[in-house]
Amino acid sequence: MSDVLDLNVDVYPFPPKPAALSPAQKQAYRDTIAAQLKQQNAVLVAHYYTDPDIQALAEASGGCVADSLEMARFGSQHPATTLLVAGVRFMGETAKILNPEKRVLMPTLQAECSLDLGCPDEAFAAFCDQHPDRTVVVYANTSAAVKARADWVVTSSIAVELVEHLDSLGQKILWAPDRHLGNYVRKQTGADVLCWQGACIVHDEFKTQALSRMKALHPDAAILVHPESPQAVVEMADAVGSTSQLIQAAQRLPQRKLIVATDRGIFYKMQQACPEKELFEAPTAGEGASCRSCAHCPWMAMNGLQALSEALAQGGEAHEIHVSPALREQALMPLNRMLAFAATLKKPVKGNA
Ligand code: SF4
């Protein structure tokens, strides 16, 4: 395996979080952004892991809160000519690939993802070249260049079904970039899956020992886990699934207490879906946890109200997503394959981190 991401090394120049705002400042920004969206024929699409203030603004202004593919599809179907994407950079790229005629703005283009960063396109292409007999399946959390090298793009909600399908055709899989999700898919399907060794810095930090202690404190709670988490944590789960699937599980499960192992940003929509339930963050600071350990993505945290307003006011190189037409054409192919496959399952394509 060529590039193994060492998550214990401080390789990421984490940016500072946006400055805290007073209630009056928040309200002023909400009013300003709502007016800017109208003036610019723009719509705000936000990821489940962004700040609750941003999710609430997206809902109140006629935008949406979802995972990246649903964000992009919402953007395609909405008449707005500008998409303001609150999330991390690959989400803006996916939105642009699916909506080339629209202007796609982000609060910051510095909001990365460890899965994307841990899978550089040239090293990944070399890895693929070493395994020409394998079908290349990449997760949505990748750059446009990595998607362009893939046969399929996939989200966590249909990963098992897609790999089952490819396995039934006798195909061997090269999976990237998340090793935990790749291992989960291999275990669920029994397929021959060779994994790139990337990981999400948030989900990789969930700890079994601390989770066991929390479960002992709340024996009547159900455990909900995103499959980007380590296998030992997944094995403790009452429900495993993508962001959207975890929200559905929270509604469906009979337990009134839920311990949730994914980014805590999801609590905003999960609590809306089941207001009578008590939600707990799964612990990350157990033995072996790094100093980075917490249940919130530092790049998602870069999305603040002030930056949203600046993106609309200034646009330009600091905020606008561009994907070259040639790259877009290549990246669109595996994305469209996924959408067509999902249509055969008659289920929505939801569920990246
Ligand atoms: S939570 Fe993990 S997978 Fe999601 S954007 Fe952050 S680093 Fe990437």
Inside any domain, residue 75? yes
98 lines ligand 1 (CB under 6 A): no
Considering only 231-245, 292-306, 321-335, which range has the smallest mean pLDDT?
292-306
Geometric angle at alpha carbon 292, from 289 and 298, rounded to 5°: 140
- 14-17 — which CB contacts under 8 Å span 24+ positions? 14/292, 14/298, 15/108, 15/110, 15/298, 15/299, 15/302, 17/298, 17/301, 17/302, 17/304
Considering only 25-34, 144-153, 193-202, 284-293, which range has the smallest mean pLDDT?
284-293
Query: pLDDT for 279-308, tens place per residue?
Result: 999 988 644 444 345 678 889 999 999 999
For 22-35, what is the mean pLDDT? Answer: 97
pTM beyond 0.85, yes or no: yes
For 20-31, what is the mean pLDDT? Answer: 96
For 112-134, what is the mean pLDDT? Answer: 96
Instruction: Give the pLDDT of residue 130.
Output: 97
Inside any domain, residue 179? yes
For 37-55, what is the mean pLDDT? Answer: 97
Protein residue with least CA distance to atom 8, ligand 1: 113
Inside any domain, residue 353? no
Instruction: Give the pLDDT of residue 218.
Output: 93
**Do 72 and 122 have their domain in common?**
no
Inside any domain, residue 18? no
**Do 107 and 128 have their domain in common?**
no
115 lines ligand 1 (CB under 6 A): yes
Residue the block writes with tokens 């999801």: 266
Inside any domain, residue 59? yes
**Do 212 and 276 have their domain in common?**
yes
Inside any domain, residue 208? yes
**Do 277 and 218 have their domain in common?**
yes
**Do 224 and 275 have their domain in common?**
yes
**Do 100 and 32 have their domain in common?**
yes
Number of structural domains, the chain?
3
Instruction: Give the pLDDT of residue 289.
Output: 40
Expressed in angstroms and rounded, the spacing between residue 186 Cα and the centre of ligand 1 is 21
**Do 225 and 262 have their domain in common?**
yes
Please tell me whether 140 is known to bind a ligand: yes
Please tell me whether 200 is known to bind a ligand: yes
Question: In CATH, what number is assigned to the domain containing residue 250?
Answer: 3.40.50.10800
13 pLDDT above the threshold of 60? yes
Query: pLDDT for 58-108, tens place per residue?
Result: 999 999 999 877 887 798 899 999 999 999 999 999 999 999 999 999 999
Protein residue with least CA distance to atom 1, ligand 1: 297
**Do 161 and 207 have their domain in common?**
no
Provide the domain limits for residue 277: 203-281
Strand 221-225 and strand 239-240: pairing? parallel
Instruction: Give the pLDDT of residue 288.
Output: 42
48 lines ligand 1 (CB under 6 A): no
